[in-house]
Amino acid sequence: MKINDENTDPNENSTLNSESSSDPSKDPVQVFCRLRALPEECQSCVKLLSPTTLTLTASSKIGRKECNYVFKHIFTSYAGQREVFEHVALPLLEDLVKGKNGLLFTYGVTGSGKTYTLTGEPSMPGVMPRCINTLFNSIADYQAQKFLIKSDKMNGFEIQGENDALEDRLLEVKTSTTKMKTIKRGGGDVKNNYENDGTKLRCVNENNLYAVFISYTEIYNNTVYDLLDETSGKVLQAKIIREDSQKRMYVNGVVEVEVKSAADAFELFCIGQRRKRMGHTILNAESSRSHSTFNIRVVQLQKDRSHLMVGQLSLVDLAGSERCSRTQNTGMRLKEASSINNSLMSLRTCLEILRENQLNGANKLVPYRDSRLTLLFKNYFEGEGNVRMIVCINPSIEDCEENLQVLKFAEMTQDVKIPKAESRYTPYKYKTPSKPTKQTPSTQTPVTSKIKKVVSFGPKIPSVKLNMENPHENIMVLDSLIKLLHARRQKRERNQQELAKREQHFRKRLLHIHQDSVLTKSEIRSLKALLKKEKQTNRNLNTKITDLETSNENLASSNKQLQDTIRTLQTTIDEKNLRINQNRLEREKAKQKLALQSEKMSQELDEKLRQQRARLQAAMLAKEAKIQKVKEILESDTMSACASEQEVEARVQPEVKIVQEMRTSGTTLPTPRHRRSRSAGEVWLEHNAIKPVALGTVLQPSMKKRKSVSKLKKASDVTNPRQNKYCLLAQEADAGGELETKLYKGDIVPTCGGGAQVIFNDVECLRQESPTNTHAPSTPSRK
| Residues annotated in a binding site | 108-115
Residue 488's contacts (CB-CB under 8 Å, 6 or more residues apart) are: 457, 458, 459, 461
Q: What one-character DSSP code corresponds to residue 260?
A: S
Q: For the chain, what's the residue count?
A: 783
**What phi, psi does 283 have (nearest 5°)?**
-85, -25
Using CA atoms, how far apart are residues 353 and 347, in angstroms rounded to an integer?
10
**What phi, psi does 471 have (nearest 5°)?**
-65, -30
Secondary structure of the chain: what % helix, strand, coil (to 5)? 45, 20, 35
The amino acid sitting at 717 is D
Using CA atoms, how far apart are residues 762 and 741, in angstroms rounded to an integer?
14
Taken in order 717, 719, 722, 727, is the CA torsion positive or negative?
Answer: positive
Specify burial of residue 749 (Cβ count, 10 A radius: 0-12, 13-18, 19+).
exposed
Maximum CA pair distance of the chain? 233
- In what side-by-side order are the strands of the sheet with 739-750? 705-709, 683-688, 725-733, 739-750, 756-767
Residue 148's contacts (CB-CB under 8 Å, 6 or more residues apart) are: 159, 160, 162, 165, 209, 211, 301
Looking from the CA of 12 toward its CB, the CA atoms found within 13 Å total 6
Alpha-carbon dihedral of residues 545, 548, 554, 559, nearest 10 degrees? -120
Using CA atoms, how far apart are residues 243 and 519, in angstroms rounded to an integer?
13
Using CA atoms, how far apart are residues 600 and 672, in angstroms rounded to an integer?
30
Using CA atoms, how far apart are residues 312 and 103, in angstroms rounded to an integer?
8
Can you state the angle between helices 127-139 and 90-97, rounded to 10 degrees? 40
Q: What angle do CA 668, 670, 673 make, to 5 degrees?
A: 125
Cβ-contact 312, 296 below 8 angstroms: yes
The residues that bridge with 750 in the sheet, in sequence order, are 756
Three-state SS at 45: coil
The amino acid sitting at 582 is Q
Cβ-contact 425, 125 below 8 angstroms: no
In the annotated binding site for ATP, the residues are 108-115
Using CA atoms, how far apart are residues 566 and 151, in angstroms rounded to an integer?
60
- Long-range contacts made by residues 331-338, C-beta under 8 angstroms, separation at least 24? 333/279, 333/281, 333/289, 335/221, 336/220, 336/221, 336/277, 336/279, 336/289, 336/290
Looking from the CA of 646 toward its CB, the CA atoms found within 13 Å total 0
Q: Residue 362's Cα: distance from chain center in Å? A: 40
Using CA atoms, how far apart are residues 305 and 208, in angstroms rounded to an integer?
9
Q: Calculate the alpha carbon distances from 551 to 538, 560, 563, 575, 598 in Å.
A: 19, 14, 18, 36, 67
Three-state SS at 187: coil
Using CA atoms, how far apart are residues 73 and 85, in angstroms rounded to an integer?
12
Element (H, E) at 386: strand 386-393
Pairing of strands 308-317, 102-108: parallel
